[in-house]
């Protein structure tokens, strides 16, 4: 899909609601580091506004943009957020949570945290509006249903507290999902660059924790660090390493 169509896709999706919240993640397939999710809320005013109509054609799936392009767009997103034109938030699930919940569970946790910074899940729950016979306390506690559509890149998520619509390759179809993919990617890349300074030798600043040949060779040479995902490493090296070395990889 051509990039200029991302905005048009969102203009179709926003019909019937006041806002869209695009959600995407970064780092799901890495051997090390956290998984990071981001959520970006846009409304019709933004989609029909100057930035979206004149500059959003530069937005795309973060994986096909250069690091410089992502950083430039990130800076623009910050200004848009400061001006109240969009709302953006990110959530993180660390390596311990990945090991405990598996990567899918950790990804959902990161997405919940990202969305929670915009709206708590309970505001999407259907509820009856208080009537004249309701108590003062009931009326005071009532919060109207949020008129927003959550759109997630990928397949529908089971046991997820937010009602949502999922789009395969959504980061190449929807403007707000693509924006979320950039926020997640830039956030995680910065985290991995910080880890590179604390754990030199692995090349985290270059490969961002993914399973490049350089990274694999570094793990064989240095062993794992606390930010490596044990299960991922064991699967990767199961056919390449002498069984006696597996304890070395496990730390």
Q: Encoding tokens for residue 15?
A: 């019909």
Cα 102 to Cα 247: distance, rounded to the nearest angstrom: 21
Confidence of residue 251 (pLDDT cuts 50, 70, 90): very low
**Number of other CB atoms surrounding residue 4 within 10 Å:** 12
pLDDT at 232: 87
Are 104 and 139 contacting, i.e. CB atoms less than 8 angstroms apart? no
pLDDT at 139: 53
Mean predicted confidence (pLDDT) in 188-208: 98
The answer to which of 109-113, 144-148, 207-211, 240-244 has the lowest mean pLDDT is 240-244
The residue that leads in pLDDT, 24 or 250, is 24
- Give the CATH number for residue 138: 3.30.420.10
Question: 151 pairs with which residues across the strands?
Answer: 22, 165
pLDDT at 236: 73
Q: Which domain holds residue 121?
A: 5-191
Closest CA to 225 of 244, 205, 209, 214: 209
DSSP string, 214-225: HHHHHHHHH---
Given a cut of 90, whether residue 237 has pLDDT beyond it is no
Given a cut of 90, whether residue 235 has pLDDT beyond it is no
DSSP state of 130: P
pLDDT at 242: 47
DSSP state of 135: -
pLDDT at 41: 98
Provide the percentage of residues in the chain whose pLDDT is more than 70: 85
Helix (H, G, I), strand (E, B) or coil at 148: strand
Structural domain count, the chain:
1
Alpha helices in the chain (DSSP H): 5-13, 44-47, 50-54, 67-82, 95-116, 136-141, 175-198, 204-207, 213-222, 230-237, 246-250
Q: Encoding tokens for residue 107?
A: 């990804």
Closest CA to 114 of 87, 82, 86, 92: 92
> Is 234 among the domain residues?
no
> 33 φ, ψ to 5°?
90, 170
Q: Encoding tokens for residue 248?
A: 């070395």
Given a cut of 50, whether residue 175 has pLDDT beyond it is yes
C-alpha pair distances (Å), 210 with each of 33, 168, 196, 198, 232: 9, 22, 13, 17, 10
Question: 41 pairs with which residues across the strands?
Answer: 21, 87
> Is 242 among the domain residues?
no
Given a cut of 60, whether residue 123 has pLDDT beyond it is yes
Given a cut of 90, whether residue 215 has pLDDT beyond it is yes
Confidence of residue 122 (pLDDT cuts 50, 70, 90): confident
pLDDT at 60: 92
Instruction: Render pLDDT for 73-106 as a digit per residue (tens, 0 to 9).
Output: 999 999 999 999 999 999 999 999 999 999 999 9
Mean of per-residue pLDDT scores for the chain:
89
> Is 37 among the domain residues?
yes
Q: 0.75 cut: is pTM over it? A: yes
> Is 208 among the domain residues?
no
> Is 201 among the domain residues?
no
> Is 236 among the domain residues?
no
Q: Encoding tokens for residue 154?
A: 């990928």
> Is 248 among the domain residues?
no
Count how many Cα atoms sit within 13 Å of the Cα of residue 60 in the half-sphere of its side chain: 12
Mean predicted confidence (pLDDT) in 47-66: 94
Angle, helices 175-198/67-82, rounded to nearest 10 degrees: 110
> Is 202 among the domain residues?
no
Instruction: Render pLDDT for 126-163 as a digit per residue (tens, 0 to 9).
Output: 555 545 565 666 555 545 578 899 999 999 999 999 99
């Amino acid at each position: 899909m051509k990039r200029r169509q991302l905005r048009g896709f969102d203009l179709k999706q926003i019909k019937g609601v006041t806002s869209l919240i695009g959600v995407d993640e970064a780092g799901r397939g890495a051997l090390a580091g956290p998984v990071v999710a981001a959520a970006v809320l846009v409304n019709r005013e933004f989609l029909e506004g100057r930035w979206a109509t004149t500059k959003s054609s530069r937005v795309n799936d973060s994986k096909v943009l250069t690091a410089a392009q992502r950083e430039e767009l990130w800076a623009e997103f910050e200004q848009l957020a400061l001006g109240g034109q969009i709302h953006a938030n990110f959530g993180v699930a660390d390596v311990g949570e990945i090991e405990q919940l598996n990567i899918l569970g950790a990804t959902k946790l990161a997405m919940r945290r990202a969305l929670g910074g915009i709206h708590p899940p309970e505001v999407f729950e259907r509820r009856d509006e208080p009537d004249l016979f309701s108590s003062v306390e009931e009326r005071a506690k009532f919060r109207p249903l949020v008129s927003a559509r959550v759109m997630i890149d990928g397949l529908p998520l089971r046991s997820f507290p937010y009602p949502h619509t999922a789009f395969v390759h959504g980061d190449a179809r929807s403007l707000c999902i693509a924006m979320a993919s950039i926020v997640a990617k830039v956030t995680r890349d910065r985290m991995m660059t910080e880890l590179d300074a604390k754990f030199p030798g692995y090349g985290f600043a270059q490969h961002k924790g993914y399973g490049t040949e350089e990274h694999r060779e570094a793990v064989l040479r240095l062993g794992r660090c606390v930010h490596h995902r044990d299960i991922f490493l064991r699967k990767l090296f199961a056919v390449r390493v002498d069984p006696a070395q597996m304890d070395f990889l496990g730390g």
